[in-house]
Chain A
Amino acid sequence: MNSLGYFVEQYVMLAGALFTLGCVGFLVRRNVLVQLMSIELMLNAVNLMLVAFNRQHLNDLNGQVFAFFIIAVAAAEVAVGLAIVLAFYRLKSSVQSDEADQLRH
Chain B
Amino acid sequence: MQAIEALFPAHNYTLLAFIVLLPLLGAAVNGVFGKRLGKEAVSLLALSVMGIAFALAVVTFFALGHAQEGDEAARFFWKGWEWFRLTRSDGSSIMLNVGFSVDALNGTMALVVTGVGFLIHLYSVSYMAEDPGFHRFLTYLNLFIFSMLVLILGDSLPVLFVGWEGVGLCSYLLIGFWFDDDKNAAAGKKAFVTNRIGDFGLLVAMGLLLYFCGGLDWSTLDSNARGLLTPLQVWPLGTHVPAASLLPQGAEAWLNTPRYVSAATLVGLALFLGCAGKSAQLPLYVWLPDAMAGPTPVSALIHAATMVTAGVYLLCRLSFVMVLSPAAMATVAVTGALTAMFAASIAFAQQDIKKVLAYSTVSQLGYMFLGVGVGAFTAGFFHVITHAFFKACMFLGAGSVIHAMHARIHDTDASQDMRNMGGLRKYMPITFWTFTAAWAAIVGFPLTSGFFSKDEILLRAYTSFIKTPMKTLSDGGGGTMEVFSWPPWLGTALYAIGIVTALMTAFYMTRLYIGTFFGEFRGWKIVKNWKEPEHAHGHDDHGHHHHDPSVPLEGPVPHESPWQMWVPLAVLGFLAAFAGWLNAPLFHIETMHHWLEPVFEKASHSVELIEGAEHLEFVFLGAAIAAFLGGTGAAYFIYVMQKGKPAQSFAEAMPGLHALVVDKWRIDEIYEEYVIGAVDSLAEFFAWADKWIVDFLLARVTAFLVSTSGTVLRFLQTGRVQTYAAVMVVGLGVVGWFFVTPRAEAKVDANDESGVYSLTAAEGLGYSYRWDLNNDGKWDGDKGDFGDKTQQSLNLAVKENRTVRLEVKNAFGRTAVRTFNFERPAPDRSGLTSRLDGDTAPVRRAADLRQAPKPQEVK
Q: Is A100's CB within 8 Å of the partner chain B? A: yes
- Flag whether A90 is at the interface (Cβ < 8 A): no
* Residue B726 at the chain A interface, CB threshold 8 Å: yes
B615 contacts A by Cβ under 8 Å: no
CB of A72 closer than 8 Å to a CB of B: no
Contact digits for B721-746, partner A, Cβ 8 Å, 1 yes 0 no: 11001100100000000000000000
Q: Are A26 and B725 in contact (CB under 8 A)?
A: yes
Q: Which of A49-105 contact B (CB under 8 A)?
A: 97-98, 100-105
Q: Is A27 an interface residue (CB 8 A)?
A: yes
Interface locus among B128-136, B472-480, B712-720: B712-720
User: A97 CA to B724 CA in the complex, in Å?
Assistant: 12
State A49–B714 Cα separation when bound (angstroms): 39
- Measured CB to CB, the nearest residue on chain B to A99 is B720
Q: How far is the CA of A35 from the CA of B724 in the complex (A)?
A: 14
Residues on the B chain within 8 Å of A103, using CB? 717, 719
What residue in chain B is nearest A30 (Cβ atoms)? B722
- A23-44: CB near B (< 8 Å → 1, else 0) gives 1001100100001000000000
Residues from chain A with a CB closer than 8 A to the CB of B729 are: 23, 27
Contacts of A98 in B (CB 8 A): 720
Contact, CB under 8 Å: B721 / A97: yes
Which B residues are CB-close (under 8 A) to A102?
719
CB distance from B508 to the nearest CB of A (A): 85
8 Å CB contact of A97 from B715, B717, B722, B726: B722
A101 engages B719 (CB within 8 Å): yes
Please report the number of residue pairs spanning A and B whose Cβ atoms sit closer than 8 angstroms. Answer: 30
User: Across the interface, do B720 and A100 meet the contact criterion of CB distance under 8 Å?
Assistant: yes
Question: A101 and B722: CB pair below 8 A?
Answer: no
**Least CB distance, A11 to chain B, in whole angstroms:** 20
In whole Å, how far is B241's beta carbon from the nearest beta carbon of chain A? 60
Q: Check if B717 sits within 8 Å of A105, measured CB to CB.
A: yes
Could you say which residues of chain A place their CB within 8 Å of the CB of B725? Answer: 26-27
B contact residues around A27 at 8 Å (CB): 722, 725-726, 729
**In the complex the two chains form, what is the Cα distance from A97 to B720 in whole Å?**
7
Output the least CB separation between B95 and chain A (Å).
67
Q: Quick one: which of B55-85 are within 8 Å of A by CB?
A: none
For the complex, what is the distance from the CA of A104 to the CA of B717, rounded to whole Å?
6
Query: CB-CB < 8 A to A97: which residues of B?
Result: 720-722
A100 touches B721 (CB 8 A): yes
Q: Which residues of A contact B717 (CB under 8 A)?
A: 103-105
Q: Contacts of B722 on A, CB cut-off 8 Å? A: 26-27, 30, 35, 97
- Cα distance A30–B726 when bound, in Å? 13
In the complex formed, the residue of A with least CB distance to B713 is A105
Q: Are A105 and B720 in contact (CB under 8 A)?
A: no
Contacts of A104 in B (CB 8 A): 717-720
B822 to chain A, nearest CB (A): 44
Question: Which residue on A lies nearest to B721, using beta carbons?
Answer: A97
Looking at the assembled complex, report how far the CB atom of A19 sits from the nearest CB atom of chain B, in whole angstroms: 12
Question: Shortest beta-carbon distance, B533 to chain A, in Å?
Answer: 81
Bound CA–CA A26/B729 (angstroms): 11
Within B689-725, the residues touching A (CB, 8 Å) are 714-715, 717-722, 725
Complex: how many Å from CA A97 to CA B721? 8
Residue of A nearest to B717 (CB): A105
CB distance from A30 to the nearest CB of B (A): 8
| Chain A: CB-nearest residue to B729 | A27
A85 to B726, CA, bound (A): 21
Q: Hey, which chain A residues are within 8 Å of B721, CB to CB?
A: 97, 100
How far does the alpha carbon of A35 sit from the alpha carbon of B721 in the complex, in Å?
11
Query: Hey, which chain A residues are within 8 Å of B714, CB to CB?
Result: 105
Most A-side CB within 10 Å, residue of B714, B717, B721, B729: B721
Looking across the interface, which residue of chain B has its beta carbon closest to that of A101? B719
Which partner residue on chain A sits nearest B711 by CB separation?
Answer: A105
B-facing residues in A10-26 (Cβ within 8 Å): 23, 26
Please name all residues of chain A whose beta carbon is closer than 8 Å to the beta carbon of B720 when the two chains form the complex. Answer: 97-98, 100-101, 104
Measured CB to CB, the closest approach of chain B to A26, in angstroms, equals 6
Q: Point out the residues of chain B lying under 8 angstroms from A35, CB to CB.
A: 722
Give complex CA distance A100, B719 in Å.
7
Closest Cβ neighbor of A29 among chain B residues: B722
- Considering the chains assembled together, what is the distance between the CA atoms of A26 and B720 in angstroms? 12
A103 to B724, CA, bound (A): 12
Give min CB distance, A89 to chain B, whole Å. Answer: 16
Contacts of B719 in A (CB 8 A): 100-105
User: CA A102 – CA B719 in complex, angstroms?
Assistant: 6
For residue A84, give the distance in angstroms from its CB to the closest CB of chain B.
12
Interface pair A101/B726, CB less than 8 Å apart: no
Chain A: minimal CB distance from B717 (Å):
4
A105 contacts across to B, CB distance below 8 A: 714-715, 717, 719
Residues of B within 8 A of A101 (CB): 718-720
Kindly report which residue of chain A lies nearest to residue B714, judged by CB atoms.
A105
B715: chain A residues within 8 A (beta carbon): 105
Q: For residue B812, give the distance in angstroms from its CB to the closest CB of chain A.
A: 15
Q: In whole angstroms, what is the CA distance A14 to B720 when docked?
A: 30
Additional pairs, 13, CB under 8 Å, beyond known A30-B722, A35-B722: A23-B729, A27-B722, A27-B725, A27-B726, A27-B729, A97-B721, A97-B722, A98-B720, A101-B720, A103-B717, A103-B719, A104-B717, A104-B719
What are 13 A-B residue pairs whose CB atoms fall within 8 Å in the complex?
A23-B729, A27-B729, A98-B720, A100-B719, A100-B720, A101-B718, A101-B719, A101-B720, A102-B719, A103-B717, A103-B719, A104-B717, A104-B719
Binding site for A on B (CB under 8 A): 714-715, 717-722, 725-726, 729
* 4 nearest CB pairs, A to B: A101-B719, A104-B719, A103-B719, A105-B717
